Chains A and B, each alone.
Chain A
Amino acid sequence: KMPHNFWCYSDCVTYLPTEMRDKLRKWREDNSRNSEQIVDVGEELINEHSSKLGDDIWIIYEQVMIAALDCSRDDLAHTCLQELRRQFPDSHRVKRLTGMRLEALERKTQQPKNPPAARKRKISILKALGKSAEAIRELNEYLEQFVGDQEAWHELSELYINEHDYGKAAFCLEELMMTNPHNHLYCEQYAEVKYTQGGLENLELSRKYFAQALRLNNRNMRALFGFYMSASHIAASPKVSAKVKKDNMKYAAWAATQINKAYRLAGRGTKENKCSVKAVEEMLESMQITMS
């Protein structure tokens, strides 16, 4: 067995029970989660020197029990728990410890069956077979357990988009934006989903999030075009006030300038994309005519 902590190197040195007890106290006060060390020291203390510990023994039992669960030493955890239950039969605190042990046992029986990598592979196979509904269901289950897996959240948003379930796609993207507030792509994708959902309220939301994406990355062309299009559509809507119309026409005009600028810059020196430059210019002109 490899020495896993400082203690083992000094096997020849015997520590006094008082020193071991002090070490345990220090670790309690520092809230150290060095569970393996705690188990090492605590187990010896409990087995060999319990009579010398006085009232400290109970808090030591608790400390060692928790550490033992961390190290999958259920035998030791059980022993400690038994002693505590015997001494404090109605204690709420002891009941909580019992709960902790049960949870740890449950986790042990669940985990080996479906490690995350295997589940993710199953999901990509389902996707490749075109079984979107099942892939979505599995991915949702996976995310209940691994709620921080960004890649999985994005995967799920893509699946929902493919299924035209824009509401749920938006939910996934909201999750991603919350945990990755500086990622311009999530803002832009969220805006695209809102735009697709349609209606005045969603269009205004989409414009706001396209704007946010641009703030985070002013070279995001999808966001720039999206901002232009959403503002244009809002301005052209018969349901908006004169002020909203005016504001959105201003936004659209600003965006059109930026787009033209970007394309002129891109077209400099290359004959290649003259077509796209001309097409964009004309497109922007024709959209302005329909708007005014």
Chain B
Amino acid sequence: MGEVELSCRAYVKMYLHACLFPRVSINGLLLSSSPAGGAVYVTDCVPLLHSHLSLAPVTQLALTQVDVWCSQTQQRIVGYYQANACASDSSPTPCATRIADKIAEQFENAVLLMLDGSKMSPDYRVPPIVMYERKDSRWILKDKHTIMLRQWEETRDIAGQMLESGDHALLVDFDSHLDDITRDWTNQKLNAKIAELASPANGSI
């Protein structure tokens, strides 16, 4: 299928989300502000849950709210990400495929991204991600060559730097938002920080 590009902002927030809740499963949505058609450019992500991923109410609520926010901001939901509690297991769970299926109903070229916990050591050389695309109602492994991360090393360094300075504590996922609704699940503050650290070539949107 088509090419998928992952932006610095999207990758760093996913990474920080996984680091913020290392012993549980986490998930979130992948967004794009680029027009549909051609390559899928994942420009942002919204971290969703770190508990009870398989329960319906909060997931439904989050999907609806993010949908509304996207239509207000000219973005669309183009995919789903998840990191499993058990770091050595990066295969999509039934919960993951179910949500990804729902997204695919609205966006044909939806992607399912699994974070590979076993590859997230401090000096990892390749992006610790595994991507799936939908073909014949099944999610199959995407060809690695169709996945792009521009300025990968800089992105990786930004993620590491922010983790070290404790910035992952600033990340708000939907779960945390429900615990305290004054907290912003669109993570504007974090986005600003990432933009500051990224060079112009690393495509801040």
Contact = CB atoms under 8 A, between A and B. Distances in A.
Interface string A191-222: 11101101000000010000000000000011
B165 interface: no
A222 B55 CA distance: 12
B121 interface: no
B57 A161 contact: no
A194 B23 CA distance: 26
Nearest to A280: B65
B145 to A, nearest CB: 30
Interface in A214-236: 221-222, 225-226, 229-230
Given A128-B86, A192-B52, A226 B94 contact: no
B205 interface: no
A127 B23 CA distance: 10
Interface size for chain A: under 10, 10 to 19, 20 to 34, or 35 or more residues?
35 or more
A273 interface: yes
Given A130-B89, A280-B65, A283-B64, A193 B55 contact: yes
B55 A192 contact: yes
Given A276-B184, A282-B72, A196 B64 contact: no
A280 to B, nearest CB: 7
Contacts of A267: 182
B98 to A, nearest CB: 10
Contacts of B179: 221
A53 interface: no
B52 A189 contact: yes
Most interface-central of B23, B56, B84 (chain A CB within 10 A): B56
A283 B64 CA distance: 7
Nearest to B95: A164
Given A129-B86, A161-B52, A283 B57 contact: no
Contacts of A206: 57
Interface in A253-292: 262-263, 266-267, 270, 272-273, 275-276, 278-280, 282-283, 286-287
Interface size for chain B: under 10, 10 to 19, 20 to 34, or 35 or more residues?
35 or more
A272 B188 CA distance: 7
A263 B182 CA distance: 8
Contacts of B60: 229
Given A229-B60, A266-B181, A273-B183, A279 B54 contact: no
Contacts of B89: 130
Interface in B134-151: none
A276 B55 contact: no
Contacts of A276: 65, 69, 177, 181, 184-186
A161 to B, nearest CB: 6
Most interface-central of B57, B65, B94 (chain A CB within 10 A): B57
Nearest to B51: A158
Contacts of A287: 64
B86 A130 contact: yes
Contacts of B52: 158, 161, 189, 192
Contacts of A127: 85
Contacts of B84: 130
B199 to A, nearest CB: 27
B189 A272 contact: yes
A231 B55 CA distance: 17
Contact of B178 (A129, A221, A279): A221
Given A221-B179, A221-B181, A272-B182, 11 more contacts: A161-B52, A161-B55, A192-B52, A196-B56, A229-B57, A229-B60, A230-B57, A272-B184, A276-B65, A276-B177, A283-B68
15 contacts: A130-B88, A161-B54, A161-B55, A192-B52, A221-B178, A222-B57, A222-B58, A226-B57, A229-B61, A272-B183, A272-B184, A273-B183, A276-B65, A278-B72, A282-B72
Interface of A: 127-130, 158, 161-162, 164, 189, 191-193, 195-196, 198, 206, 221-222, 225-226, 229-230, 262-263, 266-267, 270, 272-273, 275-276, 278-280, 282-283, 286-287
